Every structure is written in C-alpha cells, then in structure tokens.
Amino acid sequence: MNGMNGMNPVYRLFCVAVLVVFLGEGFFTALASIPGQIGPYRLQVFSEPAVIPVGKARLRIDVTDAAGKPVDGAEIRSLVQMPAMSMGEKETLAEPLPGKPGSYSVEASFAMAGRFAASISIRGPL
C-alpha cells in the first residue's frame, strides 16, 4: 500500500467493496456493478467475468466527472485483498481501455472463497 500513501493529491475510496459470496464449485458472484465516489470522480466498478472465479479476474472501472463526462488520462491503482488478511497482494496500475473513454481495466486475484475489498486510488486531471 506504500504506492497509495505516497500519491499527492490523491483521492482514495477505501474498500470500494468487491464483496463476494461463495456459491460452490470454486466460483463467486458479485454485484453487477458497485458505484463509488473519490473526490470529484464518480466510479462504477464491474467484475469481468460477472461470475468471479477462484483465481484471476479483471475489474473494469468506469470514471466520470460530476456531469457524467468520461475522464481520460487518470492514473488508477487498485489493491484487492481479503480484509485483515494480507497474503502478499500488490497494488496494480489500471490500463485505459482502447475505444472506451473513461474506462480502465485492472487484474485482480481471488485466492479463495470469501469477502474481498478493492482499495482504489485515482490521480487525474480534476
């Protein structure tokens, strides 16, 4: 989490909850999207695939301003882990999605069944 603490100015949304519920057979489900706000930024966070497998998945983070206009050129970092259970996860830099203004994608790992939280930080033009 050192990278997030060293960013100034950074707007953080701690625990844009990617809360998941164990279903069985090694799969999780998540809400279709999770809304959030970090300073002047509005977020919608989606899991891809919608059914999160044990292992790797991607988070798509759509970022807009207060008027709903997509925000390009932002630096978005995410740290996904089980609350109070650090297992060596690392903060990851999201990549802009080509042809989708204001949309970013970041890989996340889900090592086992349970609840996970994504700490997201944004540094951008606003």
pTM for the full predicted model: 0.72
Give the model's pLDDT for residue 32: 66
Give the model's pLDDT for residue 83: 78
CA-closest candidate to residue 9, choices 95, 112, 124: 124
Give the model's pLDDT for residue 116: 79
- Four-residue CA torsion sign, 21, 63, 81, 56: positive
Give the model's pLDDT for residue 94: 96
The pLDDT averaged over each successive group of 10 residues in the chain (126 residues) is: 42 39 39 83 88 84 96 93 75 95 91 80 91
Structure tokens belonging to residue 8: 């100034």
72 three-state secondary structure: coil
Give the model's pLDDT for residue 88: 64
